Amino acid sequence: MRTTRSERKFFDHEVAVGPVPSRRLGRILGINNIPPKTCNYSCRYCQLGRTSVRQLDRCEYYKPTEIVLSVQDRLAELLERNEPVDYLMFFSEGEPTLDQNLGGEIIGLRSLGVPLAVITNASLVTREDVRGDLGWADLVSLKVDAVDPRIWRTINRPHRDLDHHQILTGAEIFARRYHGTLVIETMLVKNVNDDEEHVKELAAYLESLSPSKVYLTVPIRPPACRGVHPPDEHSVIRAYQILCSRLPEVECMLGDGSGSCVSTGDVVTDLLGIAAIRPLRKDTLTEFLIRYDAPWDTVTDLIRAGELAKVKYEGEVFYLRKLKKVRRSRAR
Ligand code: SF4
C-alpha cells in the first residue's frame, strides 16, 4: 500500500519535493535526506538562512528504505498525473553527504529508473566512504567557491575542523576516479571571491578536475548574511572569460530560472516544500497559485502562521519557508 504525504514527512519536512524546475537538469524531484539546515558550512549567501546545526560527522537520519519508499510513492503519484521527472536530485536543506546512508539510498533509488544527481558542498570528499557513495550517482555537482583558504573561510564559513587543502585534494581524487558526469558550481560574491587573481587561481584548479561543465552563479535569492551582493556585470564577464580560457564548458546562471513549480493536489504542502529549498520570487509564486486556483490568502495565512517569511533582496520580493529549530540527533 502506498504511503500518504504526511507519512512521508520527517523532521516536519517532506523527503521527496517537487517536481521543481532546475536551470540545469529540467524537472527534478528533490530529495531531502537530512534535517533542515544541517550543514558543515554556513555560507554567507545560503538561501536557506543560517546553519542551525553545524555538524562535522556523518550520521544516520533515516533508513535507506524510508527514503526509497517516499521517492517511489511520490514518483507514482506524479506518473498518474502525467507529471514527468527528468532527474532525482539530492539537494537537501543542508549538506546531503552528512547522511551516512547516502550510498545505500542512491543504490536503492537507482532501481526506480530515473537518473540521479547529488549536489554537494564537497567538504567531505576528503573521505573515502563519501567518494564511494557519490560514485553511484549519475551526476555529481561539487561546490568550489574559493581556492584561497582565507576566502573559503570568509565565504563558506566552514566547521572549524575542516581542512581546505584536504578538500581540494579530495576533489581531485574523486574527479580522477568518477565515471559519471562531474560538474562544478561556483558562486561569485561581490568583493569576496570575484577579483581577477583569485578567479585565475580558481580556473587553474578547476582545470585539474576536468569537469564536464562549470556553472558560474551569483546570489539571486535572499542570503543568510547582510552585505552579500552579486558582482557587477564587468566582474562576472571577466570571471567567465578567465574560466573559458581554461575549461571547455562554462555557463553563467544569472537569472532566477524558477520556471513553473508543480503541485499535485495539496497546494500548501507543495508550496512549503518548494519554498524550503528554493525561496520563491513573488511572480513565480503568483503564477503557481493562479495555476492551481489558490487564492493569495494562502500565502498571507502561511505568513501569519509563521510557516512562510517574506524577504526583500536586490529589489525583488521572495517568499521562503521559516526554519524551525531541530534537535541534533535523529528525531523520529
Ligand atoms: S549553501 Fe549549501 S553548503 Fe552552504 S550553508 Fe547552505 S546548505 Fe550548506
Q: Is the per-residue pLDDT at 251 higher than 60?
A: yes
The pLDDT score that the predictor gives to residue 275 is: 76
Give the CA angle between residues 273, 47, 24 to the nearest 5°: 75
The pLDDT score that the predictor gives to residue 268 is: 86
Closest among 7, 45, 40, 63 to 330, alpha carbons compared: 63
Mean pLDDT of the 225-250 span: 87
Stated pTM of the model: 0.81
The pLDDT score that the predictor gives to residue 270 is: 80
The pLDDT score that the predictor gives to residue 225 is: 84
Centre of ligand 1 from the C-alpha of residue 77, in Å: 30
Share of the chain above pLDDT 90, in %: 48
Q: Do you find a cis peptide bond into 158, omega within 30 degrees of 0?
A: no
- Residue nearest (by alpha carbon) to ligand 1 atom 6: 46
* Model pLDDT for residues 127-144, shown as the tens digit of each residue: 999 999 999 999 999 999
**In Å, how far are 31, 39, 292, 324 from 124, measured between CA atoms?**
19, 11, 40, 26
* Model pLDDT for residues 255-309, shown as the tens digit of each residue: 555 556 667 678 888 888 777 666 678 888 888 888 888 899 999 999 998 888 8
The pLDDT score that the predictor gives to residue 154 is: 96
CA dist 321 and 86 (Å) reads 25
pLDDT band at 324 (very low <50, low <70, confident <90, very high): low
Q: Is the per-residue pLDDT at 44 higher than 50?
A: yes
The pLDDT score that the predictor gives to residue 326 is: 37
**What is the edge-to-edge ordering of all strands in the sheet holding 316-321?**
280-281, 316-321, 308-313
Centre of ligand 1 from the C-alpha of residue 285, in Å: 23
1 Cβ contact list (under 8 Å, min separation 6):
none
**Among 72-81, 234-243, 279-288, 314-323, whose mean pLDDT is lowest?**
314-323
**In Å, how far are 29, 82, 203, 318 from 284, measured between CA atoms?**
18, 22, 34, 9
CA dist 22 and 261 (Å) reads 10
pLDDT band at 330 (very low <50, low <70, confident <90, very high): very low
Mutate to test the pocket of ligand 1, among 40, 51, 278 (most ligand atoms within 8 A of CB): 51
Q: Is the per-residue pLDDT at 325 higher than 50?
A: no
* Model pLDDT for residues 176-212, shown as the tens digit of each residue: 999 999 999 999 999 999 999 999 999 999 999 999 9
Domains and CATH numbers, the chain: 9-321 (3.20.20.70)
CA dist 197 and 218 (Å) reads 18
The pLDDT score that the predictor gives to residue 278 is: 64
Does residue 167 line the site of ligand 1, with CB under 6 A? no
**For the packed helices 267-277 and 282-291, what is the interaxial angle rounded to 10 degrees?**
160
* Model pLDDT for residues 82-108, shown as the tens digit of each residue: 888 999 999 777 899 999 999 999 999
Q: Is the per-residue pLDDT at 6 higher than 60?
A: no
Does residue 123 line the site of ligand 1, with CB under 6 A? no
**In Å, how far are 7, 139, 179, 202 from 246, measured between CA atoms?**
49, 22, 22, 10
Closest ligand 1 atom to residue 94 Cα is 7
The pLDDT score that the predictor gives to residue 260 is: 60
For residues 320 and 309, the answer to whether their CB atoms sit within 8 Å is yes
Mean pLDDT of the 46-64 span: 86
More confident: 310 or 165:
165
pLDDT band at 329 (very low <50, low <70, confident <90, very high): very low
Give the CA angle between residues 290, 217, 308 to the nearest 5°: 40
Centre of ligand 1 from the C-alpha of residue 39, in Å: 6
Centre of ligand 1 from the C-alpha of residue 26, in Å: 22
